[in-house]
Structure 1
Amino acid sequence: MIGNIKNKKIIQIIHHLQHCLQGKQTAIILSLIAIFSKGHLLIEDFPGLGKTSLAIALSKALNLSFGRIQCTNDLLPTDITGLSIYNKNTGEFEFKPGPVFNNIVLVDEINRATPKAQSALLEAMAEEQVTVDGRTYKLPKPFFVIATQNPVEIYGTFPLPENQLDRFIMKISIGYPDIESEKQILKSGSSREKLYTLTAVIDRDEIIKIQDEIKQIYLSDKIINWILEFVNKTRQDNRILLGLSTRAALAITYTAKAYAYFRSRDYVIPEDAKEMIPFVVPHRVILKEEPISKDEVILSILQSIPTPP
């Protein structure tokens, strides 16, 4: 269970968000870890559980600009990136930026977009830039994508390919709130209007500063070797068709460093990585036999590797 957060600034942000996002502490913490790890987040869950509310609340609490892309089958790449429009007064084409030119971009129901539209996000997520009509435009910093998808909806959807799934540093679900939290939600009604009045706890410069501080968190050779052994075992395991990439290994180290920072340490311990692996690894692995649980396979591999002292 994600917890034991000790960093005062992070605790302040979490408590601030919990006023509007009752019963979602774990999702809040994991989202913040993804942001401060300079990664992107995929949320797979049922409708009505607060995925959009989480994205809006994060943008307000972190004082970041917010853009939303509602994916449909007829969504065009230019609906994401923007396009050049001819200005008859100047006789020149002017670039009109799309919603991707925001700090936090919610890509709702990403699996409803066609592969061509999905691929328009790939350059933005990987390079923090987009290319339109042969010109490259830098995206604002920090840049963070929250994509959502419904796990049971199949009709009219286009499953994300492995190379795009690998771009998400984490895949999480929000889950149903506990009874007490849901009771409070029913008493007070929808909190969507409150989200837009949420005050900022931190600003853009502080976020970049924390990201830089997390980058400096110490990761010993023992833990690096342990992570590499885990990654290599996923590649050799006969239950797994597609093992972890080098990008996946980096994702484990980035999130483990962020979690160590959240716990007010300037060094990573094995437990930091173990806590992150269930959220960083499963969506990157393809099993030979789908009825087998990915979580069980990953846990068995973890348990087969001695934990470094």
Structure 2
Amino acid sequence: MNTLGVVGGIVQPVVIVAGAPLLVGVMRQVRARLEGRAGAGVWQPWRDLRKLFGKERITPRGTSEVFRIAPLVLVATTLVVTVVAPFVTTASAINPVADLFAVVALLALGAVALALAGLDTGTAFGGMGSSREVTILALVEPTLLVAIFALSVRVGSTNLGAIVSSTLDDPARVISPVSLLAAVALIVVIVAETGRLPVDNPSTHLELTMVHEAMVLEYAGPDLALVELASAMRLSVFLGLLANLFLPWGIATSAAPLAVLIGVLALVIKVGVLGVVLAAGEVFLAKLRLFRVPELLAGSFLLALLSVAASFFLA
């Protein structure tokens, strides 16, 4: 642990927690404008969270502790990732946890906790959403691991900070076949993992199509606020990883205040641009049939495998 890692461990969670709902608001506003609507404004997610946190906590009858602690696990695991992963600084506050396998395991743990909570309610919708979520998770996590592992082969380390630093030292790697294949695979993973179109529609409550919303239908008040905040944070985390693994310029390599400020601004701009592009793309996409989603994710896994093969043959 060094000074840069400590600074990153303090600044990154603050930036992501504060900015994640705002990112969701910006994406909703972009979709609204492109669809010819006025939109509720970029601050609406924060207003919704404030309202939910002020309500009474209600727990469905018959649920166990799994249902009650799942939102806390979801928020906690995502918060740990914001502390250790390279978003604003290349160094990590807890370097061993900044490993590729540890970060992916933490993100998967949060998703599994929410899926178990959906099952714990005993409702048809909760079970249906959990089943679909676990199916998608089983296809997404290997792709995420393999795609980032392809980037780590040439570095000789699975530490995310080392991968980002290596790209900073050799910018030509960004346009290599390894990076391009891994980037496309990661984009598909992010769309599926965060429940965006064409895999899932974040604004629907149609029983036959919803995945994430089906698992959280029984949540209300502060618990629902935690779930919504964690979902927004996970979206920011995935977009931040995508941005810094392939376009790391601007990330702080020293603990100087100006370097850290530039790192924060670079993260905000890159994640904001990616969020706007994702939201704009959703306007022109239709949701895939559920049974076609595995085909899309299998294609992304194949791209990740090709990226690994290219990393060995083109090294």
Q: Shorter chain as normaliser: what TM range?
A: under 0.3
Larger Rg: 1
TM-score, scaled relative to structure 1: 0.26
Question: Higher RCO, 1 or 2 (CA under 8 Å, sep at least 6)?
Answer: 2
Greater helix proportion: 2
- More strand per residue: 1
